[in-house]
């Protein structure tokens, strides 16, 4: 029976195919997903760093530069009002009295020009900036000359204001207006670049999310496929083990039937024959003889053994 069971078990172990586990594929997918997330996170970090740099270096500085340009424009407007007052004052109010007011405007204008030059984002070319500072220098030089002339001839000084200083101030105003336009254009360009970066990041975010979802779907399908294969393999092994158990039970029952038959047929007949011989022999021996008692005792032992063998044979016989 043991040999038969070993042969059946060996036959079962040879049949199932080797089933590779999903662990290696899952580890590979996990590593690829983590690397993709890290690469995309680095890319997003660089993009947003560029946006922050663009906002800080261009947008913020451009706004500060525009504020300084507006300050310069305001100083030029103050100059225009002051020169208009100088022209309207007539002979009742000397031009030299306006020198302190113009000096205050000059100090504030030069300070604003210096700060604007440091903050310029949409910086004009060096020739344009040289031309602007040349205009400023010529304007204040003409202003100083006008105050000198005013000490001797008020009318000639007013003619210089009307014919020379006012056109120079208008040129400066036009140059500042052009710078403001350039700043606005630069701000619009920076805003467009920022919007482009955000749009590109948004599109790539959607692509990345789609790729992640696709990876999740593929991983799930891979797991489902492997689980189905493993469950099918387990079911096949369960069926084979059930067949093995049935074969072992059948082999055990056959062995027990064989043992029961051997006990009943062989040993039972031998003991029955021994009992018959002892009975016949006892008839030829006197009842008061010691041998008669021994024969009777041996016969009882044989009968008891026969009964035990029959009981054992019945127990070895399967119920069904």
257 plus 216 within the same structural domain: no
* pLDDT confidence bin for 16, thresholds 50/70/90: very low
Kindly report the average pLDDT of the chain as a whole number: 77
Helix (H, G, I), strand (E, B) or coil at 93: coil
Among 5-19, 227-241, 296-310, the range scoring the smallest mean pLDDT is 5-19
What is the pLDDT at residue 7? 44
Nearest by Cα to 169 from 258, 283, 261, 80: 80
What sign results for the dihedral spanned by CA atoms 174, 167, 68, 85? negative
* pLDDT confidence bin for 310, thresholds 50/70/90: confident
Q: Are 275 and 237 in contact (CB under 8 A)?
A: no
Among 22-26, 103-107, 167-171, the range scoring the smallest mean pLDDT is 22-26
Q: Which residue has the tokens 């991983």?
A: 219
* pLDDT confidence bin for 302, thresholds 50/70/90: confident
What is the pLDDT at residue 120? 63
pLDDT in tens, 82-122: 888 888 876 667 888 888 888 999 899 888 888 877 776 54
CA terminus-to-terminus distance, the chain: 19
For residue 8, pLDDT beyond 50: no
205 plus 84 within the same structural domain: yes
What average pLDDT does the segment 42-60 reach? 72
Q: What is the count of structural domains for the chain? A: 2
149 plus 265 within the same structural domain: no
For residue 5, pLDDT beyond 60: no
For residue 286, pLDDT beyond 50: yes
For residue 37, is it within any domain? yes
194 plus 309 within the same structural domain: no
Structure token pair of residue 39: 């690469």
For residue 234, is it within any domain? no
For residue 231, is it within any domain? no
What is the pLDDT at residue 56? 64
133 plus 219 within the same structural domain: yes
pLDDT in tens, 225-280: 888 888 888 888 988 888 898 888 888 878 877 777 776 667 677 777 777 777 77
What is the pLDDT at residue 91? 64
What average pLDDT does the segment 46-64 reach? 71
215 plus 247 within the same structural domain: no
Helix (H, G, I), strand (E, B) or coil at 3: helix
For residue 15, pLDDT beyond 60: no
Task: For residue 193, give its domain range.
Answer: 23-225
Q: Are 248 and 5 in contact (CB under 8 A)?
A: yes
- What is the C-alpha separation between 106 and 109, in angstroms, rounded? 5
Q: Are 299 and 275 in contact (CB under 8 A)?
A: yes
120 plus 266 within the same structural domain: no
For residue 236, is it within any domain? no
What average pLDDT does the segment 285-311 reach? 75
For residue 320, pLDDT beyond 70: no
What is the pLDDT at residue 9? 44
Give this prediction's pTM. Answer: 0.51
Structure token pair of residue 137: 């220098």
For residue 158, is it within any domain? yes
For residue 233, is it within any domain? no
Question: How many CB atoms are closer than 10 A to CB 68?
Answer: 22
132 plus 279 within the same structural domain: no
138 plus 220 within the same structural domain: yes
């Amino acid at each position: 029976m043991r040999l038969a069971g070993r042969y059946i078990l060996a036959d079962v172990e040879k049949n199932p195919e080797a089933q590779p586990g999903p662990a290696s594929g899952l580890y590979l997918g996990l590593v690829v997903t983590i690397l993709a997330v890290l690469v995309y996170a680095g890319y997003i970090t660089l993009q947003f760093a560029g946006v922050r740099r663009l906002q800080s270096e261009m947008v913020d500085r451009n706004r500060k530069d525009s504020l300084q340009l507006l300050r310069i424009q305001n100083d030029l407007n103050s100059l225009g009002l002051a020169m208009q007052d100088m022209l309207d004052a007539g002979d009742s109010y000397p031009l030299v009295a306006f020198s302190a007011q113009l000096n205050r405007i000059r100090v504030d204008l030069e300070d604003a020009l210096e700060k604007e030059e440091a903050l310029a984002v949409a910086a004009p070319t060096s020739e344009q900036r040289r031309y602007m500072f040349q205009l400023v220098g010529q304007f204040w030089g003409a202003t100083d000359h006008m105050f000198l002339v005013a000490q001797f001839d008020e009318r000639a000084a007013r003619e210089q204001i009307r014919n020379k200083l006012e056109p120079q101030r208008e040129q400066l105003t036009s140059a500042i207006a052009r710078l403001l336009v350039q700043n606005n254009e630069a701000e619009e360009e920076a805003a467009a670049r920022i919007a482009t970066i955000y749009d590109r990041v948004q599109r790539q975010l959607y692509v990345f999310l789609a790729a992640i979802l696709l990876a999740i779907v593929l991983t799930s399908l891979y797991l489902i496929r492997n689980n189905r294969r493993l469950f099918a393999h387990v079911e096949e092994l369960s069926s084979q083990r059930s067949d093995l158990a049935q074969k072992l039970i059948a082999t055990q029952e056959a062995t027990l039937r064989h043992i029961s038959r051997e006990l009943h047929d062989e040993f039972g007949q031998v003991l029955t024959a021994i009992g018959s011989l002892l009975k016949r022999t006892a008839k030829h021996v006197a009842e008061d003889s010691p041998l008669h008692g021994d024969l009777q005792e041996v016969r009882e032992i044989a009968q008891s053994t026969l009964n035990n063998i029959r009981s054992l044979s019945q127990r070895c016989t399967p119920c069904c």
